[in-house]
């Protein structure tokens, strides 16, 4: 089950009971990193069905063991693009649903003096512009990195981009709408706000550290 948030035209919130159940365990500070990784991938897989709802298909003719039949397959290649490093934690969950998808990577850090997003790594499959891209990052905080990642993809000719995150801050959704109103943000929750350190409140902490067991 999904619902458009009346406050944010670019947000689609996933209120499915299983999504909310797993998100609650992700938020829990007592959840260990191995369980955090598992839950993150399970959530990404659950959300993937709705994310992929509008993917274009084409009709093909196939031979079943009984008779000839018409079927439908994806019409264009799909590329999953995690924002490093935390986005890696959602990638396997999406690939579990459609392993034929390609994977690109974008690495971004924020300049502490200017708060400007800086790209340190970007690698994509050939022909990425031939189909849609699903951008993934567990957290949408300020929205700076996500908007910058969309800029990078659009500069390579990608026109159909969706962003999948688990938790979004209102500030991040506002920033994304101001810079890329055409990009739909799929999220399991819209939280209250950002704190003075730009952490989402209540959030779930540093997703990268919780995925990989670092500090």
What is the rounded CA–CA span in Å between residue 160 and residue 138? 20
Select from 25, 162, 7 the least CA-distant residue to 81: 162
> Which pLDDT does position 17 carry in this prediction?
93
pLDDT 10s per residue in the chain (215 long)? 677 777 888 999 999 999 999 999 999 999 998 999 999 999 999 999 889 888 889 999 999 999 999 999 999 999 999 999 899 999 999 999 889 999 999 999 877 677 678 899 999 999 999 999 999 999 999 999 999 999 999 999 999 999 999 999 999 999 999 999 999 999 999 999 999 888 899 999 888 888 888 87
Distance CA 63, CA 175 (A): 50
Q: What is the CATH number of the domain that holds 107?
A: 3.40.50.2020
- In this predicted structure, what is the pLDDT of residue 205? 87
> What is the structure's pLDDT at 115?
66
Query: CA torsion sign, 167 to 20 to 94 to 133?
Result: negative
Which sequence positions are flagged as catalytic?
110, 114, 206, 209
The DSSP code for 202 is: S
Number of domains in the chain: 1
Q: Which domain does 191 fall in, by range? A: 2-212
């Amino acid at each position: 089950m999904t619902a458009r948030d009346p406050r944010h035209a670019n947000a689609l919130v996933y209120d499915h009971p299983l999504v909310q159940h797993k998100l609650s365990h992700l938020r829990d500070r007592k959840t260990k990193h191995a369980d955090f990784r598992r839950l993150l991938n399970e959530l990404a897989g659950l959300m993937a069905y709705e994310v992929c709802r509008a993917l274009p298909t084409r009709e093909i003719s196939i031979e079943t063991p009984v008779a000839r039949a018409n079927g439908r397959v994806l019409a264009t290649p799909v590329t999953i693009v995690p924002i490093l490093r935390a986005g890696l934690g959602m990638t396997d969950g999406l690939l579990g649903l459609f392993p034929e998808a390609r994977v690109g990577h974008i690495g971004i850090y924020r300049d502490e003096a200017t708060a400007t997003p800086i790209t340190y790594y970007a690698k994509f499959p050939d022909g990425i512009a031939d189909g849609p891209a699903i951008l993934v990052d567990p957290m949408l905080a300020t929205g700076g990195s996500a908007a910058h990642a969309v800029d990078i993809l659009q500069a390579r000719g990608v026109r159909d981009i969706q962003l999948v995150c688990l938790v979004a801050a209102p500030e991040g959704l506002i920033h994304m709408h101001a810079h890329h109103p055409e990009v739909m943000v799929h999220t399991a929750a819209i939280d209250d706000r950002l704190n003075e350190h730009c952490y989402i409140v209540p959030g779930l902490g540093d997703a990268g550290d919780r995925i990989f067991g670092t500090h």
